[in-house]
C-alpha cells in the first residue's frame, strides 16, 4: 500500500507479534532476562504480566526463538478450558493423542510417561499458557498438579504463565496459596515513556526501510505517546494510520498537523480513546506560570486566614467585656460617688447648694438634696418643710472642728446619711418591685402615680 511510497520493505507497524521488530527497551530487556533465567534455570513457575498491548506476546515469541532444539514446547493460546480439557490440550500440543472416552487418570499417566522420556533424552518440556487470566480456579489448580510431576532432582515440566494484570489478582486468592508459593520468577511489563516511544517508532521504521529510513520528529512521537499511553499496540495503530494518511496526501514528511488530523479521525471512529478518558502515562512538569498562580493563591489564603484570626480576637474581646459588665451588675457593691451624686435625680430629689446659715455657699463642698414639692392630701394642712441633706462621697466622720466651723452638727450628718440610704434603698426596692408587682399594681401606678413614702409625706 504505502510501502513503496516511503521506501519500506514491509509494513513496520503491523499488529502481528514479530520478534524481529521487538524494541529492546529497558522493561522488555528485563522481562526477557527474567524469562530466560526461569526457563534455563528450571526455576518452577514463571509469571509475566502486563497491560493489554504492552508487548507480552512479542516478548514471548522472542524468548521461544532463543531456545535450543533440546526443548519441547506446548503453548496454549485458548484458555477458556476446564480442567480435563486443559490436560487434553497440553497432550495435543506435545504431539500426544488423548483418545476418545479415556478417563483422566489414563491421560495423566500417558503425559507423565512422555515427560519422563523427554528427561531421559536430555530434553526440557516447557508449557507456556498465554492469556492465563482466563483460566478457571479448577484449571489453575490442575496446572499446579502438573508441576508435581518431578524426579528426585528436578521438575519434569517447566510452566510459564503470561497474562494481563488481573492475573495477579486471581493468583492472590486464598484458594491458590499453594500455586502462589511455587512462583519463583515474576515480572510486570510497564508502558514505554516518552523517550522510549520515539525510539520505538524510529526503530521499527529503520528495520523496515530499504534505503534512507523515514523518521518521525520528536513533536510527532510525543503526540503519539500522549494518545497511546506508551502501549506498543496503540503506538502501532496510530503510526500505521499516520503513514496511510500521509500516503493519501502524498506527504513525504510527517508533521504534527497531519498526526493531529489522524488522531482526531481515530478518536471520532472509536479506534482509540481520547487522552482525557484515560490517565496519561506521564505528567508534564509545571510551568513558571503555574508556579506564580500557586504562589498567588497561597498568599490569598494566608491573608484570609489572618483576617479571620483578627475577627475571632475582636469577637473574643467583645464577649469578655460583656461578661465583665454582666458580672459587675450581678455582684452587689457600694455605688461609686458619681452614682450616689446622680441618685437624687433618678429618685426625684434635687440637689441645691446650701450654706450653714441657709444662704448660697461660697464653695462646692456643701450640697443639699431637696425633695420635690408635691401637693399635700386634704387631711394635711401643709407640706413638711424641706430639709437640706448634704451629700458626701466618703463615710461621714464624727464631729470635728471643721464641721463645727462650718456650722454642721452630728444631727445634720445623720440626716444626710439617712437620705443617702433612703435613696439607695428606694432605688433597689423599685428595681425589685418592677419584676414582682402584679398587673393591678402597675395599672394603679400608671393612673394615680407612684405611692409616696413616709419621707415624701
Q: Is the dihedral of CA 415, 421, 427, 428 positive or negative?
A: negative
End-to-end CA distance of the chain: 129
Q: What is the pLDDT of residue 392?
A: 43
Which positions of the chain have pLDDT values less than 70? Answer: 152, 276-294, 331-457
Among candidate residues 26, 31, 22, the one with its CA nearest the CA of residue 50? 31
Nearest to 129 by CA among 48, 72, 67, 218: 48
Report yes or no on whether pTM surpasses 0.75.
Answer: no
Closest C-alpha to 334, from 426, 433, 424: 424
How many residues comprise the chain? 457
Residue 186: which of 132, 150, 138 has the closest Cα?
A: 132
Instruction: State the maximum Cα–Cα separation within the chain, in Å, rounded to a whole number.
Output: 152
Nearest one of 239, 139, 145, 231 to 190, comparing CA atoms: 231
Task: Assess contact for 238 and 223: CB atoms under 8 A.
Answer: no
Model confidence pLDDT, tens digit, residues 227-255: 999 999 999 999 999 999 999 999 999 99
Q: Where are the alpha helices (DSSP H) in 185-231?
A: 194-208, 218-228
- With contact defined as beta carbons under 8 Å apart, do 131 and 89 qualify? no
Angle in degrees, 0-180, between the axes of helices 56-65 and 26-40, rounded to the nearest 10:
50
Residue with cell 461609686: 336
What pLDDT, in 10s, does the model give residues 176-235?
A: 999 999 998 999 999 999 999 999 999 999 999 998 889 999 999 999 999 999 999 999
Q: How far apart are CA 240 and CA 2, in angstroms?
A: 10
Q: Are 139 and 108 in contact (CB under 8 A)?
A: no
The answer to whether the beta carbons of residues 179 and 145 sit under 8 Å apart is no
| Cβ–Cβ under 8 Å, residues 369 and 344 | yes
- What per-residue confidence (pLDDT) applies to 153? 72
CATH class of 194-277: mainly alpha
Residue 33 — φ and ψ, nearest 5°? -65, -45
- Alpha carbons within 13 A on the beta-carbon side of 97: 2
Superfamily of domain 26-189: P-loop containing nucleotide triphosphate hydrolases (3.40.50.300)
Q: What is the DSSP string of 11-25?
A: -TT-SS--GGG----
- Which grid cell sits at 157? 515440566
The three grid cell numbers given for residue 281, joined into one nine-digit string? 502515562
> Which whole-number Å values give the CA distances from 424 to 326, 342, 365, 434, in the listed order?
20, 11, 22, 16
In this structure, the strands spanning 45-50 and 183-189 are parallel
Its sign, for the CA torsion 256, 209, 229, 273, is: positive
- Calculated CA dihedral for residues 310, 313, 319, 324, nearest 10 degrees: -130
Q: Which residue has the cell 521488530?
A: 21
pLDDT at 189: 93
Query: 391 near 420, Cβ under 8 Å?
Result: yes
CB-count exposure of residue 328 (10 Å: 0-12, 13-18, 19+): exposed
- In Å, how far are 13, 213, 237 from 208, measured between CA atoms? 9, 8, 16
Amino acid at each position: 500500500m504505502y510501502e513503496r511510497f516511503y521506501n519500506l520493505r514491509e509494513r513496520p507497524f503491523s499488529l502481528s507479534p514479530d520478534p524481529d521488530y521487538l524494541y529492546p527497551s529497558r522493561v522488555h530487556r528485563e522481562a526477557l532476562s527474567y524469562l530466560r533465567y526461569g526457563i534455563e534455570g528450571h526455576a518452577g513457575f514463571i509469571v509475566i504480566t502486563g497491560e493489554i498491548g504492552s508487548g507480552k506476546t512479542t516478548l514471548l515469541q522472542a524468548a521461544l526463538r532463543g531456545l535450543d532444539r533440546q526443548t519441547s514446547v506446548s503453548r496454549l493460546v485458548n484458555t477458556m478450558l476446564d480442567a480435563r480439557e486443559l490436560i487434553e490440550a497440553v497432550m495435543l500440543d506435545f504431539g500426544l493423542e488423548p483418545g476418545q472416552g479415556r478417563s483422566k487418570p489414563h491421560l495423566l499417566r500417558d503425559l507423565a510417561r512422555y515427560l519422563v522420556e523427554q528427561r531421559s533424552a536430555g530434553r526440557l518440556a516447557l508449557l507456556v499458557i498465554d492469556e492465563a487470566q482466563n483460566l478457571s480456579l479448577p484449571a489453575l489448580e490442575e496446572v499446579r498438579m502438573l508441576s508435581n510431576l518431578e524426579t528426585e532432582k528436578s521438575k519434569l515440566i517447566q510452566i510459564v504463565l503470561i497474562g494481563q494484570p488481573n492475573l495477579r489478582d486471581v493468583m492472590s486468592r486464598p484458594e491458590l496459596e499453594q500455586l502462589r508459593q511455587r512462583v519463583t520468577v515474576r515480572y510486570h511489563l510497564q508502558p514505554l515513556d516518552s523517550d522510549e516511544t520515539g525510539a520505538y517508532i524510529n526503530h521499527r521504521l529503520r528495520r523496515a526501510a530499504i534505503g534512507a529510513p523515514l523518521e518521525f520528529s520528536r513533536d510527532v512521537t510525543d503526540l503519539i505517546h500522549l494518545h497511546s499511553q506508551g502501549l506498543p499496540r496503540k503506538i502501532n495503530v496510530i503510526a500505521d494510520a499516520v503513514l496511510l494518511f500521509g500516503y493519501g496526501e502524498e506527504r513525504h514528511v510527517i508533521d504534527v498537523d497531519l498526526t493531529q488530523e489522524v488522531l482526531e479521525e481515530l478518536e471520532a471512529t472509536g479506534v482509540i480513546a481520547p487522552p482525557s478518558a484515560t490517565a496519561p502515562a506521564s505528567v508534564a512538569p509545571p510551568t513558571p506560570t503555574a508556579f506564580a498562580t500557586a504562589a498567588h493563591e497561597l498568599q490569598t489564603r494566608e491573608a484570609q486566614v489572618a483576617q479571620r484570626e483578627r475577627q475571632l480576637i475582636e469577637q473574643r474581646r467583645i464577649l469578655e467585656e460583656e461578661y465583665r459588665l454582666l458580672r459587675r451588675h450581678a455582684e452587689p457593691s457600694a455605688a461609686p460617688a458619681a452614682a450616689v451624686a446622680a441618685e437624687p435625680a433618678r429618685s426625684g430629689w434635687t440637689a441645691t447648694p446650701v450654706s450653714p446659715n441657709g444662704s448660697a455657699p461660697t464653695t462646692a463642698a456643701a450640697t443639699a438634696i431637696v425633695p420635690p414639692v408635691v401637693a399635700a392630701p386634704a387631711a394635711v394642712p401643709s407640706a413638711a418643710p424641706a430639709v437640706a441633706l448634704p451629700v458626701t462621697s466618703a463615710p461621714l466622720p464624727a464631729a470635728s472642728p471643721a464641721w463645727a466651723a462650718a456650722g454642721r452638727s452630728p444631727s445634720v450628718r445623720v440626716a444626710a446619711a439617712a437620705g443617702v440610704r433612703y435613696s439607695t434603698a428606694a432605688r433597689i426596692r423599685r428595681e425589685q418591685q418592677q419584676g414582682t408587682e402584679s398587673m393591678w399594681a402597675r395599672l394603679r401606678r400608671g393612673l394615680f402615680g407612684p405611692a409616696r413614702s413616709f419621707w415624701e409625706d
